[in-house]
Amino acid sequence: MASKEKLLEKAYNALVDIDEDQAEEVVKEWISNDLDSVELLNKLADAMAEVGKRFETLEYFLPQVMIAAEIMDAASKELGAKMAAAGEKSATKGTVVIGTIEGDIHDLGKNIVGGMLKAGGFEVVDLGRDVPVTTMVQTAKDKNADIIVGSALMSTTMPYLGDIVKMLEGMGIRDNHKVMVGGAPVTADYANRINADVYAGNAHEAVEAAKKLVSK
Ligand code: HCB
């Protein structure tokens, strides 16, 4: 077997070079060697950020970004399934309702966060992408969810994360559900301004933050 570092480098290059076969091969090798899924997901997230940079500098165009997204999605589904199988062994820590907020179809990061929360022992109700604020809040209420996890990848959709908090307040149920927000343009300062309970910068932080929120 290639060393872990070599595999990580291979995975990074496969995604940045948009090489589907190579990516698939590395993920298979990673899983068959029972290596830490989180480590590979973090590396792939770095590679996706590089794809984003190349898109911004016009080195890549939309079709390339779309294929890269498909590669990332397939890898995170496989790694997520492995993590979820391990997570099933532990008792449920709480329920989260997760979704990419309305107007926004970017769901790769949200899928990773959802997969890792599942692996971390949470029951995850994944509403998908482009989810109306009302659906997020109503589902949280119906499922008696501990946490609403909102994701936004565009500056134009970020404000809807604030609407989740406002709607909970308006319905008089703000104290029943914690609100976690994240996604590339979101910051801790922004989370503070919209009165969310917590900001997470990556999936690992999201799991740690969720554990803290339910233990309060
Ligand atoms: Co897209 N796109 N895109 N895009 N896209 C961005 C986001 C831009 C920044 C690119 C740019 O112009 N510089 C930009 C947004 C600009 C803005 O802010 N206004 C943009 C745009 C404009 C668009 C379209 C409008 C393009 C068009 O059609 N003209 C369109 C969106 C349409 C819509 O949503 N209504 C569009 C489409 C696409 C796809 C389909 C090609 C593809 C998405 C595929 C998919 O998600 N299924 C795509 C992609 C891939 C990107 C970039 C390149 C990468 C995003 C990504 O997946 N990153 C992105 C550029 C960039 O971000 N640098 C670009 C990797 C993941 C793993 O990172 O940050 O999502 P993440 O998640 C992390 C982290 O933030 C955290 O954990 C994750 C794992 O560590 N996290 C949370 C995420 N959510 C959390 C929630 C929590 O509560 C807590 C933590």
pLDDT score for 135 = 98
pLDDT score for 118 = 87
Q: Are residues 45 and 76 in the same domain?
A: yes
Q: Are residues 112 and 184 in the same domain?
A: yes
Residue 204 lies in a domain: yes
Give 153-200 pLDDT, tens digit per residue: 999 999 999 999 999 999 999 999 999 999 999 999 999 999 999 999
pLDDT score for 90 = 61
Ligand 1 centroid vs 142 CA: distance in angstroms?
Answer: 29
Q: Are residues 115 and 145 in the same domain?
A: yes
Q: What is the CA radius of gyration of the chain?
A: 17
Ligand 1 centroid vs 1 CA: distance in angstroms?
Answer: 34
Residue 28 lies in a domain: yes
Give 48-101 pLDDT, tens digit per residue: 999 999 999 999 999 999 999 999 999 988 998 888 777 655 668 899 999 999
Going by their DSSP bridges, the two strands 147-151 and 178-182 should be labelled as: parallel
pLDDT score for 38 = 87
Ligand 1 within 6 A of CB of 52: yes
How many domains are there within the chain? Answer: 2
8 A C-beta contact, residue 139 and residue 89: no
pLDDT score for 119 = 82
Q: Of residues 69 and 119, which shows the higher confidence score?
A: 69
Q: Are residues 68 and 169 in the same domain?
A: no
Question: Which CATH number fits the domain that encloses residue 15?
Answer: 1.10.1240.10
Question: Which CATH number fits the domain that encloses residue 155?
Answer: 3.40.50.280
Residues 6+ apart with CB under 8 A from 126: 98, 99, 110, 111, 114
Q: Are residues 115 and 197 in the same domain?
A: yes
pLDDT score for 139 = 98
Ligand 1 centroid vs 174 CA: distance in angstroms?
Answer: 28
Which phi and psi (to 5°) does residue 153 adopt? -115, 0
pLDDT score for 34 = 92
Residue 90 lies in a domain: no
8 A C-beta contact, residue 192 and residue 103: no
Ligand 1 within 6 A of CB of 177: no
Residues 6+ apart with CB under 8 A from 138: none
pLDDT score for 121 = 87
pLDDT score for 92 = 80
Q: Are residues 142 and 197 in the same domain?
A: yes
Q: Are residues 211 and 111 in the same domain?
A: yes
Ligand 1 within 6 A of CB of 149: yes
Q: Are residues 103 and 209 in the same domain?
A: yes
Domain that holds residue 58: 4-85
Q: Which atom of ligand 1 is nearest to the CA of 62?
A: 41
Reported confidence tier of residue 213, pLDDT bands at 50, 70, 90: very high
Ligand 1 centroid vs 191 CA: distance in angstroms?
Answer: 18
* CA pseudo-torsion sign 188, 190, 192, 194: negative
Ligand 1 within 6 A of CB of 151: yes
pLDDT score for 85 = 76
Give 20-53 pLDDT, tens digit per residue: 999 999 999 999 999 999 899 989 989 999 999 9
Ligand 1 within 6 A of CB of 203: yes
pLDDT higher than threshold 90 for residue 116: no
Tokens 């984003």 locate to 52
pLDDT score for 6 = 94
